[in-house]
Homo-oligomer: A and B are copies of this chain.
């Protein structure tokens, strides 16, 4: 049984017949929750970044399918299947880059492929979603244990975006490793980048680490190079939205330049992600990088920070090539270059 600290934030929680999500758009000022009573509520929550982070999106999507199934009134299998397919397509279309969304939906669909009895199918879907939520926490704990040995007492670790409790069901991927380092008795400090434009570093990582009394300092994204050169950063650790068989990592915009800067300053650069983040089929050119609304760049709350009719380029993700990545930490172990070989071995 996975034991969690009392202070740990629970991002996703199933309550009998609805899903409860921390409303991440309201952080850091308010810790509030939203209820999703339908798959459309879930799709909406994913689209609006109420819930975000590749593993969290995956589990939320699974509960979305569960809600579609539970809410169905039909006892005609064809109609039921059609309803599920609609829910699948709606949820699938919310965000293109993270692979866990697809992975979670497919895992559920696989599970019910040959089933004919609607009440039974409903039970199987919900059971699978609940299992995925439970596994997510266990997977994060395993990654934490696997990664913790890479760090030493007194280390300062830089992270980008939020790959924490708030990006998963709980505990986190990159921040899960940071939690595990702390739990192992080592004293560590974290430097969190703001992560413009959505500011997951300021709003989520700073909030989440402070919530658990882990030492954290916030920096503007412009200060990464300057602070790395000062010598205080001993490691960089980030999550991932998709990892290819070649070790190419798709993650939050800004990850690539962090990796370039880490390489320039001889700082090890680690990626932490569960097996569900690996996409062993596609090549770099096949992956769609989501371009988000220019409003994210032009407005912050009600404050207009740029001319409203200015052109904006606002990619949500970027790709970090394997040559910049020191190690990838998974629940199945740690992989090192050459990744084509090591990823195949561990995922095969």
Q: How far is the CB of A332 from chain B (nearest CB, A)?
A: 29
Q: How far is the CB of A9 from chain B (nearest CB, A)?
A: 13
Q: Does A202 contact B (CB under 8 A)?
A: yes
Residues in chain B near residue A310, CB distance under 8 A: 206, 210, 216-218
Q: Which chain A residues in 294-346 approach chain B with CB under 8 Å?
A: 297-298, 300-307, 309-315, 318-319
Question: A210: nearest residue on chain B (CB-CB)?
Answer: B307
Q: Does A219 contact B (CB under 8 A)?
A: yes
Contact of A220 among B302, B309, B314 (CB under 8 A): B314
Given contacts A305-B202, A306-B28, A307-B207, A220 and B220 within 8 Å (CB-CB):
no
Given contacts A29-B304, A257-B226, A300-B300, A196 and B217 within 8 Å (CB-CB):
no
Instruction: Give A66 to B337 CA distance when docked, in angstroms.
Output: 64
Task: Say whether chain A's binding surface is mostly helix, strand, loop, or mixed.
Answer: mixed
Given contacts A218-B313, A220-B253, A253-B220, A305 and B199 within 8 Å (CB-CB):
yes
Q: Is the CB of A261 within 8 A of B257?
A: yes
Q: How far is the CB of A306 from chain B (nearest CB, A)?
A: 4
Q: How far is the CB of A202 from chain B (nearest CB, A)?
A: 4
Q: Does A280 contact B (CB under 8 A)?
A: no
Q: Is the CB of A203 within 8 A of B261?
A: no
Q: Is the CB of A300 within 8 A of B297?
A: no
Q: Which chain A residues in 206-243 approach chain B with CB under 8 Å?
A: 206-207, 210, 215-227, 229
Instruction: Give A203 to B310 CA distance when docked, in angstroms.
Output: 11
Please, could you name 21 A-B residue pairs with CB atoms under 8 Å apart, sorted by A?
A196-B220, A196-B221, A202-B298, A203-B306, A207-B306, A210-B309, A217-B313, A218-B297, A218-B306, A220-B254, A221-B221, A223-B253, A223-B313, A223-B318, A225-B254, A225-B256, A226-B319, A229-B256, A300-B300, A300-B301, A300-B303
Residues in chain A within 8 A of chain B (CB atoms): 28-29, 191, 193-197, 199, 202-203, 206-207, 210, 215-227, 229, 252-254, 256-257, 260-261, 264, 297-298, 300-307, 309-315, 318-319
